[in-house]
Structure 1
């Protein structure tokens, strides 16, 4: 195994997880300096998010939980799945309303790299046809039958 294959996903997890964890946590425990005001074009979008009342706290809880999951290497595919729409919205916001390309590009690249690194966990999502899981009693009896053979 190459050094990049071994350390790449680890470094990417930390580099992606840390900003989401810290910035999400800062929403609840303000410890970061205030951000500069957004450009006027972005105000209707931000005002709408804030007016919803529940949306920003929900997004920040997801950011903290997913960031922590990435930092601790627990439930990484779930964390990536939860962060995907947030990353897409961050990119859309910064590519169109508040032009800034470095951060969203890094988030997209890291997210895609980690999704590729954990592709085995995502593979079942791309099956054209999937069957629901059998009830637990059926699974146990079929496992016992297979074991008896």
Structure 2
């Protein structure tokens, strides 16, 4: 008995050379930006801004982050790892998902607490959105609605069957309890 398996190739949208190059340049520049600023959090090779020139709310926020003893190091570590992933072109959707909360925070801090860096914050938001759009096919499975007959585990649905690689859950008329006893 032979089984035939038919699979459909994922549809890919052809992009122009300009769009591919723009995505590459945006990914590399964003990766460099986050890698450099993340490393600066550990090595302090960029001069810190003078607190006298910053808005008082921005100084208070930065002081509070320093006071936690871990938050700036955590943020810097995430930036280094995600920036390196963007530079390497590996796991780009994961890097974008990890950076998204930081990007939102960067934007909101500059919007409400420290207006001096709003231009750079807007660039980071635009780069994040542009890269997320360029990799939208990778985000579709986690952002789309759950499909009926999806890949939920059989225990959750009360169904019996087996999982076949490449085909997902396949119903079975064999009772697992009886199959183990024989």
Q: Measure, in 2, the Cα distance between the counterparts of 1:43 and 1:92.
A: 15
How much does 1:66 deviate?
0.4
Counterpart CA distance in 2 for 1:133 and 1:25 is 42
What do residues 90-136 of structure 1 show as CA deviations (whole Å, max 9, x unaligned)?
A: 100111111032101101111001000000110012223264467xx
Q: Which residue of 1 aligns with 2:44?
A: 30
In structure 2, the CA distance between the partners of 1:45 and 1:119, relative to structure 1 (3 Å rule), is: same
Q: 1:9 aligns with which of 19, 23, 28?
A: 23
Whose Rg is larger?
A: 2
- Is the alpha carbon distance of 1:98 and 1:145 closer, same or farther for their aligned partners in structure 2, counting shifts above 3 Å? closer
Q: Judging changes above 3 Å, is the alpha-carbon distance between structure 1 residues 73 and 144 closer, same or farther for their aligned structure 2 residues?
A: closer
The corresponding residue for 1:56 is 72
Matched, 1:115 2:132: yes
1:143 corresponds in structure 2 to 165
Distance 1:18 1:143 in 2: 39
TM-score by length of 1: 0.85
Measured in 1, the distance between the counterparts of 2:123 and 2:104 equals 12
Residue matched to 1:125: 142
Distance 1:36 1:83 in 2: 27
Question: Could you tell me how far apart the structure 2 residues matched to 1:87 and 1:97 are?
Answer: 15
Higher RCO (Cα < 8 Å, 6 or more apart): 1
1:40 and 2:56 aligned? yes
More helix per residue: 1
**Quick one: distance in 2 between partners of 1:54 and 1:124?**
34
RMSD: 2.2
Q: Residue 95 of structure 1 aligns with which residue?
A: 111
